[in-house]
Every structure is written in structure tokens, then in C-alpha cells.
């Protein structure tokens, strides 16, 4: 298993999940309650880039990690669902730990 690539996927999962929370709980309230629509433009743009990169990493991970098609789709669907990247990251961390423990 390519542990470095897995760590990149996990890191982008954390970043993408966090950007979703910032968009929902910081930028959107700023837009609607403080009249600052630029907050959504900035946070939304960052979130969009992180989302596309995370999905791309899951597709590439099929070849470079490698992991199953099921893990790839779980990651892609998890990227769409709020809090999903955090749930998927736990699964990936467990896979990484299991791989580390299987090699003496």
C-alpha cells in the first residue's frame, strides 16, 4: 500500500470536510445575516477546488494505493455528503494502520 498517497487523501479529506463546515457555519451566515456575500464566494471557491482534488485523488488512488473500487466510490460519495470526508478518513486511517501492522 502506498502510505504516502493515502496520507495525502486523508489530509485533503480533512481539508475538504473542514471547508464544508466553514462554508455552512461561517460563510453562509455572514452572507445572509451580515450582508457579506464575498464570504461565500471565497469559501465556496476554496471548497470547490478541495472537492475536485479529493475526488481526483480517490480516482487516482485506485491505481496508486491501490484500493478497491468500493473504497474509491465510498470516498467520492463521502466527499458529497456533509461530514462524509471525516467518516471516510476514519476508514482510511484504519486501513493504513492495518497495513502497517501486517508488515513486521
- In the block, cell 478541495 appears at 50
- SS3 assignment, position 38: helix
Q: What average pLDDT does range 33-45 have in this prediction? A: 97
Q: Is 102 exposed, middle or buried (0-12, 13-18, 19+ CB in 10 A)?
A: exposed
CA distance 1 to 101: 12
Whole-model pTM: value is 0.93
Give the pLDDT band (50/70/90) at residue 101: confident
Q: What average pLDDT does range 67-73 have in this prediction? A: 95
pLDDT value, residue 103 = 75
Give the pLDDT band (50/70/90) at residue 104: low
CA distance 24 to 10: 21
Alpha helices in the chain (DSSP H): 3-22, 28-34, 38-64, 69-80, 84-102
C-alpha grid cell, residue 99: 497495513
The whole-chain average pLDDT of the chain stands at: 95
Amino acid at each position: 500500500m502506498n502510505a504516502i498517497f493515502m496520507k495525502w487523501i486523508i489530509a485533503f479529506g480533512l481539508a475538504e470536510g473542514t471547508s464544508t463546515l466553514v462554508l455552512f457555519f461561517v460563510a453562509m451566515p455572514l452572507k445572509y445575516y451580515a450582508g457579506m456575500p464575498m464570504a461565500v464566494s471565497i469559501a465556496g471557491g476554496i471548497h470547490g477546488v478541495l472537492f475536485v482534488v479529493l475526488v481526483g485523488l480517490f480516482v487516482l488512488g485506485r491505481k496508486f494505493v491501490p484500493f478497491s473500487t468500493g473504497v474509491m466510490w465510498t470516498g467520492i460519495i463521502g466527499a458529497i455528503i456533509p461530514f462524509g470526508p471525516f467518516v471516510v478518513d476514519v476508514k482510511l486511517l484504519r486501513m493504513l494502520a492495518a497495513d502497517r501492522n501486517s508488515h513486521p
